[in-house]
Amino acid sequence: GRCRLLCKPSALAQHLVRSLGQSAVLQGGRWLWPRWPRLQMLQQLLQPPEPEPVVARELLQLPDSGLVALDWLVGPRRARSGSGGGGPCCVLLLIPNAAGKVTGGLLQLGLRALERGFVPVIFNRRGHNGCPLTTPRLQPFGDPGDLREAVTYLHCRHPAALLLAVSEGSGSGLLLAYLGESGSSSRLAAAACISPIFRGRDWFEAGMPWLYEWPLLLHLKRGLSRYAGSLAEAVDVDRLLGSRSLRELEEALFCRTKSHPTSWEAYWERNEPLRDADEAAVPVLCLCSADDPVRGPPARSLPLELFRSSPYFFLLLTRRGGHCGFPRRGPGRCWGHEAVLEYFKAMAEFLRAEERRKRPPRPR
């Protein structure tokens, strides 16, 4: 009753409507500050998860000798870790925002997925969240090369499992770019974006609420300052650490480089999240709120025509929820997490039914 699903009519859309319509999670819940989306956003950024998760880190070396980190959630703190018998049925790849900030909300989603039998793993970009930076190069906003290597590795490690991916906030730019560039070769069975940023350049140029921008800017600078020596050969470190906005930092890192400088316009021609959206061939649920203070007004920030024309993109739009907030009282404080997990369950059921339907009839 509080949500609207915008999509192109199809058998998959009908199945999704039935599955989500029968679920109670989309009714959300009452909250103390329903009309204060910026407080919801601040809570989402700062509140730690309960209980604290246990994480096992794995470093993946890339073809150019760079490193990305995969953090496997193996259980809550003080709980006995380890997996049960048999291989996983679904591996869930969690992609943080573009600043690499692993929020309490993302960890809470991972823990909820773990309780439901998923195998959650967090993708950390080069130099983010304590991942060592072994090359003087970071990952641009919409360059899916490193993510492709991680997905290929996960497929090789768990060849029989369904691979799923979910992104949070500005991290959706990376996931959407990967889905468009990979097309039917993405190896993913389904994907979801929570409060995604669809138009990267417009988002950087419009500016963001300082409650959101300054914590992420400081988080990025603190991480980059550890590698100031190695980055000095590629970028102007003084300009980088003196940036007063996320746009200035993005330009210092990827446009005003010493070896291959480029213009702001050319950078976004290669890094817009939806540049190849027509090639996407994987179901994608985008969970958005009309009062999102970070993405901006729906009229200019939501690509409504994409959801009307593509059979793979589904927009679940709610009136209130803030940015990655979607709060409710009680356990599992974000109903958006439950909606995403319900969506993945519905996709798995649909794919199994399609596989059975396409099998040749058994001989009598």
Look at residue 3 and give its three-state secondary structure: strand
Evaluate whether 112 touches 337 at the Cβ level (below 8 Å): yes
Per the CB < 8 A criterion, the answer to whether 194 and 166 are in contact is yes
Integer Cα distance of 280 and 286 in angstroms: 14
**Which residues lie closer than 8 Å to 263 by C-beta, 6 or more apart?**
255
Give the whole-angstrom CA distance, residue 82 versus residue 80: 7
φ, ψ dihedrals at 51, nearest 5°: -80, 170
In angstroms, rounded to a whole number, what is the distance separating the alpha carbons of residues 143 and 146?
8
- Please tell me whether residue 282 adopts helix, strand or coil conformation: coil
Report whether 327 contacts 298 (CB < 8 A). Answer: no
**Structure tokens given for 348:** 């798995």
> Is the separation of the CB atoms in 101 and 216 below 8 Å?
yes
Catalogue the active-site residues.
Answer: 292, 323
Determine the Cα–Cα distance for residues 86 and 281; give it in Å rounded to an integer.
Answer: 30
**CB 187 within 8 Å of CB 155:** yes
